[in-house]
A and B are shown apart, each in its own frame.
Chain A
């Protein structure tokens, strides 16, 4: 068998049975592949970076901390934006994505990102950028960007695990939570120990809300319908078990909780903040991965 032939068989009929087989199409819960497999991985990363960048910007507003704004703005637009464009099949047509804000969630998101880019730039370069009105507008834009990725998924009626009412609150809290961890790490490395300690109280609250939202998402989705239940069962028993238990539960919830107990009340430590940041990064990426990877379509018959 030639190399090409082997590749051909792999792409059409992979051994895991996920390839196109018209005789069994959509008779059982069918996982979506376009937004997570092969080039779809870019979208998973793009959502993550756009949202944590906006989360960092959002939390930095409360501290009027310009370096946080700059880094958040750059992560959202440069890192998130570039990865988004890499995902597209025809990136030179990307400008057309502003054409349908009346129906398309994606199009609306692009508008929000443009406004965020322009106003964020103004806020960063102007000395009086931290006035209340500007902060409120930028805060709202940040929350819209944070929720944009999951909002795009949330409107897809055919995938019940994404239609859960907890998807949007989960995305908002995860963006803000991971963003807050980035800011705390920035405080720690810049020698602003007092600011890092003051953020610890917020970190603890955000972590508890984050864990609560994860639990509510799992519970709500599990009880939504049979297809959604299958998605959640796959987290605990199927091929996502290791990523879910190790990544989401272990790195995303348990380890940060332990580290938070150690630093409880503001007794912060730069090294522990760094460990928690890495852990939270991995945990949140794992959460987004399992949610996107095990998104099942409702069977047609």
Chain B
């Protein structure tokens, strides 16, 4: 069984927001909900300051703080390393949301569910279709799932996630500069493992001991 992971080359990222938008489009996310964020900051002082752009998503941690905190077992790590949520088990306590050091979870309550892209004008056809395709359950927590439905469908068709677009997360597919690479962390010959070793990929805030499956090359 593979263990899916991602490498993001920060030096390549141009801050185009393509991943953020592709993710929202893929999952029909309500206004204000982001599974992919761009974290833009700077280090140092002028004239030696440096702009930093870090695309951030759920890190699908091996030792996930959210999984430990969840009192019902609704949040769990799948065999393929993807941290998933079972909405039928979620009690909406938000312990996972509080515990996540990367703040990559969103509480899907009535106010979020009722948000419209054109406020006061009613939901568009696209938004209504999205509610049918991705029926997020009110009162539960939602987050990035590494586009697990794309991966699963792709594998059924004999495609390779990270290589074939249809089996690869939307944020990876959309990236115009190939800053994101997706693949199997347990395969020592996979492209992402070679990149992690060659360019010394780093995890975000490893001191929290969460063992993220998303690596950054900066």
| B109: A residues at CB distance < 8 A | 39, 89
Check: B31 CB closer than 8 A to any chain A CB.
yes
Check: B120 CB closer than 8 A to any chain A CB.
yes
Contact of A89 among B67, B91, B103, B116 (CB under 8 A): B91
Q: How far, in angstroms, from A3 to B119 measured CA to CA in the complex?
A: 9
Among listed B33-41, B156-164, B176-184, interface-contacting one: B33-41
| B100: A residues at CB distance < 8 A | 158
Given A94-B91, A301-B39, does the pair A34, B97 have CB atoms closer than 8 Å? yes
**Nearest neighbor of B32 in chain A, beta-carbon distance:** A12
Among A12, A89, A104, A106, which residue has the most Cβ atoms of chain B within 10 A?
Answer: A89
Q: Interface digits, A5-16 against B, CB 8 Å rule (1 contact, 0 not)?
A: 101110110000
| B103: A residues at CB distance < 8 A | 25-26, 30, 297
Contact of B91 among A23, A40, A97, A298 (CB under 8 A): A97
**Nearest neighbor of B141 in chain A, beta-carbon distance:** A89
How far does the Cβ of B105 sit from chain A's closest Cβ, in whole Å? Answer: 9
Q: List 20 A-B contacts (CB under 8 A).
A: A8-B115, A11-B111, A24-B41, A25-B56, A26-B39, A26-B56, A27-B39, A40-B94, A89-B107, A93-B89, A96-B89, A98-B71, A104-B71, A107-B71, A157-B208, A158-B100, A297-B103, A298-B205, A300-B101, A301-B39
Q: Interface digits, A66-89 against B, CB 8 Å rule (1 contact, 0 not)?
A: 000000000000000000000111
Interface of chain B residues 94 through 134 with chain A (CB within 8 A): 94-95, 97-103, 107, 109, 111, 115-116, 119-120
Given A12-B32, A89-B139, does the pair A106, B69 have CB atoms closer than 8 Å? yes
Q: How far, in angstroms, from A300 to B98 measured CA to CA in the complex?
A: 15
| A136: B residues at CB distance < 8 A | none
| B72: A residues at CB distance < 8 A | 93, 96-97, 99-100, 107
A23 to B40, Cβ gap below 8 A? yes
B140 to A90, Cβ gap below 8 A? yes
B94 to A300, Cβ gap below 8 A? no
Q: How far, in angstroms, from A100 to B72 measured CA to CA in the complex?
A: 6
